[in-house]
Amino acid sequence: MNRIQMDGENLTLDQLYSIALGGAEVELSQQARERMNASRAVVERLIESDAAVYGVNTGFGKMASVRISRQQIRTLQTNLVRSHACGVGAPLSEPEVRAMLALRANAIAKGFSGVRPVVAETLCAMLNKRVHPVLPCQGSVGASGDLTPLAHLAQVAVGEGQVILQGRKMGGAEAMRNAGIAPLVLEAKEGLALLNGTQAMLALLALALRGAEIAADTADLAAALSLDALRGSPAAFDERIARVRPYTGHTISAKNLRRLNQGSAIRESHRAPEKDPRVQDPYSLRCAPQVHGAARDAIAQVRATISVELNSATDNPLVFVGADGKSGSGEILSGGNFHGQPLAMAADQLAVALVTLAGISERRIEQMTNPQSSQLPAFLIRDAGLNSGFMILQVAAAALASEMKTQAAPHSVDSIPTSANQEDYVSMGMSGARRIQPMLANLRNVLAIELLSACQGLDLLAPLRTGAEAQKAYDIVRSASSFVEADRSLSADIEAVADLIDEGKLAAILR
């Protein structure tokens, strides 16, 4: 198996997904090892000079002025890991843990942390042997990085903490021993280097980005099916309209909607004015490219932020090697690259994009289930009255969309000072990232309801058929849920279609 190289410079999102979701193995590159040795030499030289260096021979945060003797340097680093491992809440998922391990190894491999290569190598070995630390999801304010979740990760690297190995929960020492990995004995700065960084919020946000991009494509598919179910006009998707307001997302969504509905017999059946006197469709149809497009552009900006963060040095202090790169010359600088504000703001942006897609989807569901606007049987069911049909599916979609509005409240504008006011402005990036997966689950369910409603509407228009590409989406939905002849519980159908969305089965039509 070709292992993914951890070099701090070239990790891609696709590689991260292969590691987190596909179990791909990793290894530290030779170039990274050389850079790490060079930066470590700077740290060793400064220790020998007895100069005060934050995090190396001083306390942390508000206690940075406290000097630590050489004899206590190892104890300082171990105490740091233990004291900061105080997280609470449900553990992160296995993909999230794997992403964190990979991201922290890659950040250290960049060569600005001043630690030995064995630190990154240990994290790589944990990934490859599937030693997955139990990481409580709560406790980080995203300021000096994600200190608490990364401390729980570091605990296992030193042979402590809790682990899931081969489906069984056990102590870190037992897991490392069973996996044949020697626990780290932390040297100067190495505990701090493991804890200082944005890798928890980054891991969650990177994995959520994948789901958001799938959802954006699925939303276009759902809108295309709804357009035909409602006998709407694709005229609003004309490329000339997008060209005079050239947002990238608008252009993509309009192109998708044109392509999906091309050749629709339903559209042709009511194109003439005498057959359909309507001049314009509701905004949820006519403005789908503008609304979906705005969400797409927001998601693209989140991708750009994450792409920078993937290969950034985010701990503190940072070690800069001198020009010769070998003699131990260089400088250690304290700064704030651990601060999560860029990611916190990206998480807020992503949350707004997701609730936007859910909100407009719910409006299309209402249009289809409402006989005053749908020109279809009430609530998409024959013999309405005896049957309630899709009435409560719209209610469920409304509940989910409304819940998402509260979930989308911004986190990055909040701050609570910590560490005796030393860390007086924090990002709340971890909590901002944590709420994205629940939002994605809600969005998938809303889109599933729209897809089910649209397919029901299309069946009620049979024998007329939608466009060839949109028909592919219809067929996928119908593989999981049959036409509703009479009332039945549709919970299982919603779940089945939501699973298809999550797996990317529908989005693949557009890719």
User: Would you please indicate which residues are annotated as catalytic (active-site) residues?
Assistant: 54
Q: Is 167 left (phi over 0), alpha (psi -120 to 50) or beta?
A: left
79: burial class by Cβ within 10 Å (0-12, 13-18, 19+)?
A: middle
DSSP-derived letter for residue 236 is G
CA 94 from centroid of its chain's CA atoms: 14
Structure tokens given for 270 = 């009511």
User: What distance in Å separates the CA atoms of residue 60 and residue 323, rounded to the nearest whole number?
Assistant: 29
Q: 438: which strand partners?
A: none
User: What distance in Å separates the CA atoms of residue 281 and residue 77, rounded to the nearest whole number?
Assistant: 64
Among residues 315, 304, 277, the alpha carbon closest in space to that of 111 is found at 315
Structure tokens given for 316 = 């503190």
User: For the chain, first and last CA: distance in Å?
Assistant: 27
The answer to whether 43 and 116 have CB atoms below 8 angstroms apart is: no
The per-residue b/e assignment along 384-406, b for 16 or more CB within 10 angstroms, e otherwise, is eeebebbbebbebbbebbeebee
Structure tokens given for 324 = 């010769």
Three-class DSSP category at 318:
strand
What are the φ and ψ backbone dihedral angles of 283, each rounded to 5 degrees? -55, -35
Percentages of the chain per state (helix, strand, coil), in multiples of 5:
60, 10, 35
Q: For the chain, what is the total number of helices (H) and then of strands (E)?
A: 21, 9
64: burial class by Cβ within 10 Å (0-12, 13-18, 19+)?
A: middle
The answer to whether 198 and 145 have CB atoms below 8 angstroms apart is: yes
H-only helix segments in 370-490: 371-374, 391-407, 429-434, 436-460, 468-478
The answer to whether 469 and 259 have CB atoms below 8 angstroms apart is: yes
